[in-house]
Amino acid sequence: MYKNKPCTLIDVDEAKKNCANKNYVDNVQFTAFGSNTEPSIADYEDFLESRCLPRPRDRIKLELKELDIPFYDPYLIIKKNAGANGRRSIIK
């Protein structure tokens, strides 16, 4: 989201390992995958991980415990904190 406007809709089928996206803005700076119009499941996983606590962060286990998450999973972290990553809140 940018200024309360959705920029990209991401459709993921975990079972089939497919990822598709629909951009609602023309400026690639505000899209989830930039100029990549056919993201892979790996691109999606990288996107999620880039918007949550870094995996190698000091005291990560303490932060996960504070969030009541048993293990490092970017999707669970983002779901728990509503996509807030410090100064950003872009995943809804």
Ranges under pLDDT 50 in the chain: 87-89
Same domain, 39 and 59: no
Same domain, 38 and 8: yes
Same domain, 44 and 64: no
Same domain, 2 and 41: yes
Q: How confident is the model at residue 69, as a pLDDT?
A: 92
Q: Determine the structural domain holding residue 5 and report its residue range.
A: 1-50
Number of structural domains the chain divides into: 2
| Position 74 in a domain | yes
Task: Tell me the pLDDT tens digit for each residue of 41-64.
Answer: 999 999 998 888 888 888 888 989
Q: How confident is the model at residue 87, as a pLDDT?
A: 47
Same domain, 45 and 62: no
Q: What Cα–Cα distance (Å) separates residue 36 from each residue in 60, 62, 64?
A: 31, 35, 31
Q: How confident is the model at residue 73, as a pLDDT?
A: 92
Q: How confident is the model at residue 89, as a pLDDT?
A: 47
Q: Is the pTM of this model over 0.75?
A: yes
